[in-house]
């Protein structure tokens, strides 16, 4: 059944069309199909089109909606879509990758021998782009992600072997790539490297056993005095060896590696290091200092947290004109810190509600400046937390006087396992448990305070306090590496691939920070907007056409802020004789 149109020419030469609902029937004698008119609709120019529309709707209710729409699209001449995948995030990341000189640095570093440098560079970028996605995957799962779920310019597919070979080659040249990328980014973005912020963390590996000591020597290189300066502890050897150590991820049951990161005051990661899982902060800081000194970055002020505050570390950082700003433990055993806190002085307000005062402890040639920082809001929080701890402690020991001496000792042992209780619990000579009121008063003296020490004489007390607060950028980097970029879980075993995996995450963090710095927005928001841009492949009569969608205003704003060009409209055309 179909709508039949017949035409008749009038004497004056005009043509009139008539519409009818017809049905073809085959003549039983001749076998020739003939049209049988079921209903005459009259002249086409006078037909009730609204009635025809209602007829179409009533018929469509009995048909497959998808088939009906497909028929409408085909009738309208719109080619069917054979593939559609997000391209916005990967395309922007690729443009930044090229603009920051990472592609050039990586391609030139891995070139040589029978290595296809261009292919290695594309595979490494694909692994970095996957770290930037909303769902970072393993290297093996990433191969399907590239082939089926995302558009990577210049890479249609890759195998897991391609990934592992690229990681091995990347691991061979990672130091050179880091150096070239840093100077390219520093020159392009005019980075300020007078202050470098350093912090370390650890990450665990999904394996039940640790690695054997390197070369069977129990990592003796960590105790070798390689430069003959007598500072044995300074000779930390960078090596991604999984072993047990103090886990900052609260997974002491799994072997780990220690990772160090240096960032600028803008939060741009300068470099990442990997060390054996039992390397202490005091050892790795020497290697970090020496590595960056080789980059001609020796005359910088290092900003570090309280884990690095040892005299040997401080003097090592002062070599070649360097300096430091370090957090000092308030409740530690340092006599200098106690003297600094005990000095009288007047606070002055700097940024916001932060109050600072500078004190001098001694007048020696190697003297340090101390800055006492006080935050009134933090002081209120500290007081409230201490009051809650003391109240719970009082409840815990309220009826302890009636217990036997043995039971009281057991209770005291249990309470002292909790650091909060242990600070304020005392035992009388007769074995009774009491709240140490003197300890409570001493602790109140530290409310809202933190202590900084520096070797630099040019910075003001306010600059020192603000500089230390910017150490938050390094801590934010760890948070993004572990929760957004998914540094873990990791299953690699070869030290070279462990190092490569960490450095892939560093490149991803570098792209994120550059994008955030230029746009003033978070990567999560940028990615959500960019993922709306798709590359659509359509099957035309002439072949397959790959075309991007229309840019949204938000996407145009991102490209403008990043100073990137508009993506081309057409990305690929495969003629019909070669289309799949």
What mean pLDDT comes out for the span 351-373?
Answer: 77
**Which tens digits make up the pLDDT trace of 280-328?**
777 778 888 888 877 877 567 778 877 676 777 877 777 766 788 888 8
Q: How far apart are CA 340 and CA 369, in angstroms?
A: 9
| Burial class of residue 407 in the structure, from the number of CB atoms within 10 Å of its CB (0-12 exposed, 13-18 middle, 19+ buried) | exposed
User: Are 231 and 290 in contact, with CB atoms under 8 Å apart?
Assistant: no
Report the pLDDT value the prediction gives residue 92, as an integer from 0 to 100.
96
Report the pLDDT value the prediction gives residue 242, as an integer from 0 to 100.
59
Structural domain boundaries enclosing 10: 2-81
Which of 417, 444, 471 lies at the terminal end of a domain, its last residue? 444
Buried b (16+ CB within 10 A) or exposed e, 383-398: eeebeebbeebeebbe
Q: Angle at CA 68, nearest 5°, toward 64 and 72?
A: 170
* pLDDT range class, residue 205, cuts 50, 70, 90: low
Residue 226 located in a structural domain: no
* Sequence-ordered strand ranges (E) for 376-519: 425-427, 433-435, 449-454
Report whether pLDDT(33) > 80.
Answer: no
Question: What are 288's two structure tokens?
Answer: 């970090």
Residue 478 located in a structural domain: no
User: Are 511 and 128 in contact, with CB atoms under 8 Å apart?
Assistant: yes
**Which tens digits make up the pLDDT trace of 374-391?**
889 989 999 999 999 999
Report the pLDDT value the prediction gives residue 229, as an integer from 0 to 100.
40
What percent of the chain is modeled with pLDDT above 70? 84
What mean pLDDT comes out for the span 154-171?
Answer: 92
Instruction: Give CA separation, 95 vs 135, 238, 516, 571, in Å.
Output: 21, 32, 15, 15
Residue 425 located in a structural domain: yes
Which comes out higher in pLDDT, residue 20 or 75?
20
Q: How far apart are CA 504 and CA 426, in angstroms?
A: 51
- Prediction pTM value: 0.72
Question: What are 200's two structure tokens?
Answer: 């370390």
DSSP state of 82: E
What mean pLDDT comes out for the span 192-214?
Answer: 69
Averaged confidence pLDDT in the chain? 81
Residue 203 located in a structural domain: no
Report the pLDDT value the prediction gives residue 312, as an integer from 0 to 100.
78
Most confident of 36-50, 159-173, 203-217, 476-490: 159-173
Residue 288 located in a structural domain: no
Question: How is the chain split among helix, strand and coil, in percent rounded to 5?
Answer: 45, 20, 35
Residue 10 located in a structural domain: yes
E strand or H helix at 374? strand 369-374
What mean pLDDT comes out for the span 238-248?
Answer: 59
User: Are 197 and 470 in contact, with CB atoms under 8 Å apart?
Assistant: yes
The mean-pLDDT minimum among 47-51, 191-195, 369-373 falls in: 191-195
Strand order in the sheet with 348-349: 269-276, 256-263, 195-204, 301-304, 323-328, 449-454, 369-374, 355-360, 348-349
What mean pLDDT comes out for the span 328-338?
Answer: 72
What mean pLDDT comes out for the span 27-52?
Answer: 79
Question: What are 313's two structure tokens?
Answer: 């570390």
Report the pLDDT value the prediction gives residue 313, as an integer from 0 to 100.
80
Residue 261 located in a structural domain: no
Which of 444, 466, 489 lies at the terminal end of a domain, its last residue? 444
**Which tens digits make up the pLDDT trace of 504-523?**
999 999 999 999 999 999 99
Report whether pLDDT(393) > 90.
Answer: yes
Per the rule left: phi > 0, alpha: psi between -120 and 50, beta: everything else, 236 is beta
**Which tens digits make up the pLDDT trace of 521-577?**
999 999 999 999 999 998 887 788 889 999 999 999 999 999 999 999 988 878 776
Q: How far apart are CA 100 and CA 475, in angstroms?
A: 24
Most confident of 17-26, 385-394, 455-464: 385-394
Report whether pLDDT(223) > 50.
Answer: no
Question: Domain count of the chain?
Answer: 3
Residue 249 located in a structural domain: no
Report the pLDDT value the prediction gives residue 119, as an integer from 0 to 100.
93
Report the pLDDT value the prediction gives residue 360, as an integer from 0 to 100.
79
Report whether pLDDT(370) > 90.
Answer: no
Report the pLDDT value the prediction gives residue 228, as an integer from 0 to 100.
40
Report the pLDDT value the prediction gives residue 292, as an integer from 0 to 100.
81
Which of 81, 111, 128 lies at the terminal end of a domain, its last residue? 81
């Amino acid at each position: 059944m179909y709508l039949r149109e017949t035409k008749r020419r009038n004497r004056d030469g005009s043509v009139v069309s008539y519409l009818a609902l017809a049905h073809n029937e085959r003549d039983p004698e001749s076998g020739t199909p003939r049209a049988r008119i079921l209903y005459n609709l009259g002249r086409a120019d006078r037909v009730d089109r609204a009635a025809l529309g209602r007829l179409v709707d009533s018929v469509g209710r009995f048909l497959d909606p998808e088939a009906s729409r497909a028929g409408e699209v085909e009738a309208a001449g719109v080619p069917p879509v054979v593939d559609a995948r997000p391209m916005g995030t990967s395309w922007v990341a690729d443009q930044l990758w090229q603009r920051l000189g990472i592609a050039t640095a990586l391609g030139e570093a891995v070139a040589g021998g029978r290595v296809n440098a261009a292919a290695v560079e594309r595979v490494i970028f694909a692994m970095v782009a996957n770290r930037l996605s909303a769902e970072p995957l393993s290297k093996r799962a990433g191969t399907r992600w590239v082939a089926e779920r995302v558009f990577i310019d210049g890479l249609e597919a890759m195998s897991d072997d391609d990934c592992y070979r690229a990681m091995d080659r990347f691991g061979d040249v990672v130091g050179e790539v880091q150096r070239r990328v840093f100077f390219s980014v520093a020159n392009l973005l005019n980075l300020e490297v007078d202050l470098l912020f350093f912090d370390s963390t650890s990450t665990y590996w999904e394996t039940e056993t640790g690695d054997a000591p390197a070369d069977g020597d129990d990592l003796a290189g960590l105790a070798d005095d390689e430069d003959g300066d007598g500072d044995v502890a300074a000779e930390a050897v960078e090596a991604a060896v999984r072993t047990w150590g103090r886990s900052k991820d609260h997974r002491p049951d799994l072997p780990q590696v220690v990772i160090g990161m240096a960032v600028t005051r803008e939060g741009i990661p300068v470099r990442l290091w990997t060390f054996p899982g039992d390397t202490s902060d005091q050892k790795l800081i020497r290697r970090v200092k020496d590595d960056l000194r080789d980059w001609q970055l020796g005359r910088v002020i290092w900003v570090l947290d309280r884990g690095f505050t040892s005299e040997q570390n401080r003097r090592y950082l002062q070599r070649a004109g360097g300096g430091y700003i370090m957090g000092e433990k308030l409740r530690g055993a340092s006599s200098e810190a106690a003297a600094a806190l005990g000095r009288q002085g007047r606070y002055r307000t700097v940024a916001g509600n932060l109050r600072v005062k500078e004190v001098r402890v001694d007048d020696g040639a190697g003297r340090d400046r101390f800055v006492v920082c006080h935050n009134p809001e933090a002081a209120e929080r500290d007081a409230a937390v201490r009051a809650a701890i003391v109240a719970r402690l009082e409840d815990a020991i309220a009826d302890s006087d009636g217990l036997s001496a043995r039971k009281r000792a057991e209770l005291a042992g249990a309470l002292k396992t909790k650091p909060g209780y242990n600070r304020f619990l005392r035992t009388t000579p007769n074995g009774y448990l009491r709240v140490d009121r003197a300890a409570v008063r001493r602790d109140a003296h530290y409310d809202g305070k933190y202590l900084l020490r520096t070797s630099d004489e040019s910075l003001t007390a306010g600059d020192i306090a603000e500089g230390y607060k910017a150490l938050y950028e390094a801590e934010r980097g760890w948070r993004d590496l572990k929760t957004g970029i998914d540094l873990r879980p990791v299953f690699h075993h070869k030290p070279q691939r462990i190092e490569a995996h960490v450095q892939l995450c560093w490149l991803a963090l570098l792209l994120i920070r550059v994008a955030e710095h230029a746009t003033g927005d978070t990567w999560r928001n940028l990615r959500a907007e960019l993922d709306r841009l798709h590359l659509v492949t359509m099957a035309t009569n002439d072949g397959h056409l790959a075309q991007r969608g229309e840019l949204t205003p938000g996407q145009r704003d991102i490209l403008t802020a990043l100073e990137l060009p508009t993506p081309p409209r057409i990305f690929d055309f495969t003629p019909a004789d070669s289309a799949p």
